[in-house]
Amino acid sequence: MRWRSSTKVIGVLYQERENAELKLLGGSQITGITYLEKESDEVKLLSASKFDVNLLRDTTASGVLYRDQTAADVQLLEGSKIVGVLYAETSVPGIKLLRVAQTALKLVSGQAVKGLLYQQQGGADVKLLSDVSDLSTAAGALLTGVLHQESQMAALRLVSRQAVKGLLYQQQGGADVKLLSDVSDLSTAAGAQLVGFLYRDEVLSQ
């Protein structure tokens, strides 16, 4: 019987230094994640093709092996730069976040995202984009906030631009999830579909 993983790695969030903007290493580039088990100094390797999020929950990620498009050799992203791992479960729609650092970082994905609030450059009016399957309308605009609702019975909540750390999007017809960290200009994601957003929970960060 062939072993099949119930989870798939979408990408790894990282920062070059503390307080720098978030970056995303795409899942198609990742070949494996190295980790340390608790009370052990032996480094082990989890292949991206056999990714198991449950295995990483009680371990320390020490690095990510990936293939750079400009280099033939496998590269290493140091564990100290890793913020979290984005993954998807085969049986459940949407993207999830396994935090490695920054416990205040949270992810909202899929149907929970109810709209983007934005302002056109130089404009005063705040506008609402409810259909986040196509971000063309907000091209070139400044993000002012994101609306989300965890369930149909839950209250609608607003995350302000200052707390938003990035938008996760997919180009139409594309498979790779990309990250837009600079939300002062949404041009990069024009025509794309919003699949989620990352934000800093101010309550958890205190």
Average pLDDT, integer, range 137-148: 94
Phi, psi of 2 (to 5 degrees): -80, 130
Look at the alpha carbons of 20, 16, 79, 34 in this order and tell me if their dihedral is positive or negative. Answer: positive
Tens-digit pLDDT profile for residues 119-140: 998 888 999 999 999 999 998 8
* pTM confidence score: 0.85
Write out the two tokens for 101: 């650092």
Please write down the long-range contacts of 20-23, taking CB distance under 8 Å and 24 or more positions apart.
21/165, 21/166, 21/181, 21/182, 22/83, 22/165, 22/166, 22/179, 22/181, 22/198, 23/179, 23/181
- Alpha helices in the chain, H assignment, sequence order: 53-57, 202-205
Out of 3-17, 79-93, 172-186, pick the least confident. 3-17
31, 13, 165, 177: which is closest to 79 by C-alpha?
Answer: 13
Mean of the per-residue pLDDT values of the chain: 88
d(CA 40, CA 60): 10
DSSP-assigned beta bridge partners for residue 67: 74
Q: Read off the pLDDT band of 1 (50, 70, 90).
A: very low
Any idea which residue has 């906030």 for tokens?
Answer: 145
Q: Each residue of 61-87: pLDDT tens digit?
A: 889 999 887 767 889 999 999 999 999
Q: What is the pLDDT of residue 73?
A: 84
Using DSSP, state whether 203 is helix, strand or coil: helix
For residue 162, what pLDDT is reported? 93
pLDDT computed for residue 2 by the predictor = 43
